[in-house]
C-alpha cells in the first residue's frame, strides 16, 4: 500500500500549496482531497468546519496517508487544534496532521520592517483571530490587522478570478485594509485560494508593500518537519505520484487542476461521511 502525504482543502485553493510542496519535495507521493461539493467553508461555524475537516482527514488516513496537511487556513484555524488534541491521541497508529497558519506566521518576522502586517482571509479565519494570537506568541511587537474577503473564494471556485468583475471585490478589500492601517508593509494571503487572484491584487497594491503567498513557507516547513521526524519520513512512500479526490464532479476538477498540472490527472469522486 502507498502512503501518500494527504493534502486537504475545502476546494481548489490547496492546489496552490500542493504545487509548492511538490516543487520542493517531488519524491513523495501525494493524495489531494478537495471538498468542492461543500465549499466554501469560510462562513461556516466552528462545529461544521471541524466536522467536515475531520471527515476529510479520516478519509485520507483510510486511504493510506500517515501525514495530512490542512492546506486551508479556515480548517487550520477552526479544526486543527481539536483534531491534534482530541482525535489523534485516540488513534491506535502513528498519524499526524499539520496546518498552514504556523509556518506562515514564522515567516513574517523577517519580512516586515514597520512591524505592521495585514492578513487577508476568509471571515472564519479572520474572526478566529488565529493569526493575531499566534503572532502575539512569536512576535509580540508585530501588529496584525485582518480583513475578511467573503467573495474571493467564490470568485476562484467559480473560475471568475481573472475576469473583470473580480476587480471590484479585490480593490474594495485592499483599500479597506490599507485604510485600517496605513503602516502595513507586508500583506499575507491568508487563504490558499487567494494566490489565484495575485495578479489583480498587485494591480491595486502600492509597490512598496510585500505581497506574501504562503505556499513556499508551508513547503519549507514541511521539508523541515520531515527532516526532524525521520520516523514519519520513513512512513511516507516516495514514488513521485499525485492523485486527486473531489466530492464534486471529476470533470470540473480536471478543468481547474489544468491551471496547475499540464499532464492529464487522475481524479476520483468520493463522498465524505
Alpha helices, H only, the chain: 14-24, 46-62, 73-78, 80-82, 101-108, 123-128, 130-138, 152-157, 165-180, 198-204, 215-228, 230-235, 250-257
Judged by beta carbon, residue 10 or residue 112, the one nearer ligand DGL is 10
Q: Considering beta carbons, is residue 160 or 233 the nearer one to ligand DGL? A: 160
Based on CB atoms, which residue is closest to ligand DGL, 145 or 188?
188
Secondary structure letter of residue 245 according to DSSP? E
Taking the complex as a whole, the smallest distance from the CB of residue 83 to ligand DGL amounts, in Å, to 16
Distance of CA 185 to the CA centre of its chain: 22
Residue 129 beta carbon to ligand DGL: minimum distance, rounded to whole angstroms: 14
Q: Which is nearer to ligand DGL, 10 or 213 (CB)?
A: 10
Task: Please identify which of the residues 65, 72, 149, 236 carries the catalytic annotation.
Answer: 72
CA distance 73 to 135: 15
Least separation in angstroms between residue 215's CB and ligand DGL is 11
Backbone angles phi, psi at 182, to 5 degrees: -70, -10
Residues that bind ligand DGL (CB under 6 A): 9-11, 13, 39-42, 72-74, 122, 125, 153, 191-193
CA angle 86, 127, 253 (to 5 degrees): 75
Q: Can 236 be counted among the known catalytic residues?
A: no
Position closest to ligand DGL via CB: 42
CB 20 to ligand DGL: min, Å: 14
- Is residue 72 part of the annotated active site? The answer reads yes
Nearer CB in complex with ligand DGL: 9/29: 9
Q: What is the dihedral of CA 28, 84, 123, 179, to 10 degrees?
A: -80
**What distance lies between CA 57 and its chain's CA centroid?**
14
Classify residue 191 by its DSSP letter.
S
Cβ at position 34, least distance to ligand DGL in Å: 10
User: Angle at which helices 130-138 and 101-108 pack, to 10 degrees?
Assistant: 50
CB of 269 closer than 8 Å to CB of 246: yes
**Catalytic positions:** 72, 191
Amino acid at each position: 500500500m502507498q502512503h501518500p502525504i494527504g493534502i486537504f482543502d475545502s476546494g481548489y485553493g490547496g492546489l496552490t500549496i500542493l504545487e509548492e510542496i511538490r516543487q520542493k519535495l517531488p519524491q513523495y507521493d501525494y493524495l489531494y482531497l478537495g471538498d468542492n461539493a461543500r465549499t466554501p467553508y469560510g462562513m461556516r461555524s466552528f462545529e461544521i468546519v471541524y466536522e467536515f475537516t475531520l471527515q476529510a482527514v479520516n478519509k485520507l488516513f483510510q486511504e493510506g496517508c500517515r501525514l495530512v496537511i490542512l492546506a486551508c487556513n479556515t480548517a487550520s484555524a477552526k479544526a486543527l487544534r481539536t483534531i491534534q488534541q482530541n482525535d489523534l491521541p485516540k488513534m491506535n497508529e502513528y498519524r499526524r496532521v499539520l496546518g498552514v497558519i504556523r509556518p506562515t506566521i514564522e515567516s513574517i518576522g523577517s519580512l516586515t520592517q514597520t512591524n505592521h502586517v495585514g492578513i487577508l482571509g476568509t471571515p472564519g479565519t479572520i474572526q478566529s483571530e488565529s493569526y493575531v494570537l499566534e503572532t502575539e506568541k512569536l512576535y509580540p511587537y508585530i501588529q496584525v490587522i485582518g480583513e475578511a474577503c467573503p467573495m474571493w473564494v467564490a470568485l476562484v471556485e467559480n473560475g471568475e478570478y481573472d475576469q473583470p468583475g473580480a476587480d471590484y471585490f479585490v480593490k474594495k478589500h485592499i483599500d479597506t485594509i490599507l485604510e485600517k492601517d496605513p503602516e502595513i508593509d507586508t500583506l499575507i494571503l491568508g487563504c490558499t485560494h487567494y494566490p489565484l487572484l495575485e495578479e489583480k491584487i498587485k494591480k491595486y497594491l502600492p509597490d512598496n508593500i510585500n505581497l506574501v503567498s504562503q505556499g513556499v513557507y508551508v513547503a519549507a516547513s514541511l521539508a523541515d518537519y520531515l527532516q526532524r521526524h525521520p520516523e514519519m519520513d520513513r512512513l511516507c512512500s516516495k514514488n513521485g505520484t499525485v492523485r486527486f479526490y473531489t466530492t464534486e464532479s471529476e470533470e470540473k476538477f480536471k478543468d481547474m487542476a489544468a491551471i496547475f498540472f499540464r499532464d492529464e490527472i487522475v481524479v476520483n469522486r468520493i463522498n465524505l461521511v
